Structure 1
């Protein structure tokens, strides 16, 4: 028998995160495009971000038929948060004249690239990227390289830059609880063996 699930955060009722999810407003609009393989992942951080931001939308799929209208809400200029050639480093002041629609693909790097490939309109958007050297708190997934962040961490960092001095750190509270719960469930020994610091 499957465990009862919270319909909002999709976590088991016993580990519901809704109490920790803030309700934050941002001038920047966030559009999360989630690869279907992420939906039932225990660490679905895109959903946490979408629930915690009043100006955010989460869409799930591989090919988005109505992408044109999704990318052109009035008053916003769309850009893709994804590294790549010609990507502009995010800094305060960007989006000051016209607020940004920050489009964030959610999935492994391979799946995110696939979303770009299947939706050519995405690949045509101007790209923005985060400053290097960010430390992820995501202690459970093998990062593809230094500075690789989970989706919610990348969004928090992007909004902190774009909307300084406002802080979007409260979005990380449910994320921290999620990670803590997973580590607790697997036990300290297993966590150390699989995810601990190998340099010690």
Structure 2
């Protein structure tokens, strides 16, 4: 046994996985025209299976903002209110329009994703008026999550990295969503192998209510 109990728990600063299970070799460096901003609830930052930490490094023009209150980040509020950008919030709701390319709009596009449980994601919207005033979009129906370690709370619910990959594929036909999802697939497969198929089937027939991981 190591004299240092912290040895073996050192995590990669990029993907946040234990060093022995680092997924960075699978993370691409893609540059879609649309900028992505992931607003992560602080409670999600240390979640073992969080996928925002796999999504953002895979996109050159993506940003991860860990906060519950955007008032602490006035520069981002200004960016999200900038009329020279097409800013959209990817979040289902009554006023959400199905995501689609905007060939007639010459403005640069920014897509905002919320990373957290559904309850926390709704709280992020409630606490931040700038999110309430943004154009709201949703993914097309019929998408199925591959996050097999969680039972989705409703049809079409996806992990954060899946939502980002599917959204960019809709906006930019030909976008390589499979390259973006490669570390996520490896993460899930590795977790299932580690626990064994029998335990996986026993323990993950149900899961918590999560909007993104």
- Taking structure 2 as the reference length, the TM-score comes to 0.87
Partner of residue 101, structure 1: 110
Counterparts in 2 of 1:127 and 1:152: CA distance versus 1, 3 Å: same
Partner of residue 152, structure 1: 161
SS at match of 1:62: coil
Corresponding residue to 2:89 among 75, 80, 83: 80
Q: Is the 8 A contact 2:34 2:108 kept in 1?
A: yes
Bigger shift: residues 98-107 or 14-23: 98-107
Bigger shift: residues 182-191 or 53-62: 182-191
Counterparts in 2 of 1:88 and 1:13: CA distance versus 1, 3 Å: same
Q: Is the 8 A contact 1:24 1:168 kept in 2?
A: no
Deviations 1:41-66 (A, max 9, x none): 11111111110000100000110122
How much does 1:193 deviate?
1.3
Partner of residue 141, structure 1: 150
Could you tell me how far apart the structure 1 residues matched to 2:204 and 2:21 are?
A: 22
Across the aligned residues of Structure 1 and Structure 2, the Cα RMSD in angstroms comes to 1.8
Corresponding residue to 1:131 among 115, 140, 150: 140
After TM superposition, the structure 1 = structure 2 runs for residues 1-200 of structure 1, keeping only pairs within 5 Å, are: 1-2=5-6, 3-65=9-71, 66=74, 67-72=76-81, 75-93=84-102, 96-195=105-204
Could you tell me how far apart the structure 1 residues matched to 2:66 and 2:42 are?
A: 6
How much does 1:94 deviate?
5.8
Could you tell me how far apart the structure 1 residues matched to 2:42 and 2:20 are?
A: 25
Q: Is the 8 A contact 2:151 2:205 kept in 1?
A: no
* 5+ residue gaps, structure 1: none
SS at match of 2:25: helix
- Taking structure 1 as the reference length, the TM-score comes to 0.92
* 5+ residue gaps, structure 2: 207-213
Could you tell me how far apart the structure 2 residues matched to 1:62 and 1:94 are?
A: 33
Q: Is the 8 A contact 1:95 1:162 kept in 2?
A: no
SS at match of 1:25: coil
Bigger shift: residues 93-102 or 17-26: 93-102
Could you tell me how far apart the structure 2 residues matched to 1:76 and 1:55 are?
A: 14
How much does 1:6 deviate?
1.1
Could you tell me how far apart the structure 1 residues matched to 2:160 and 2:57 are?
A: 13
How much does 1:110 deviate?
0.6
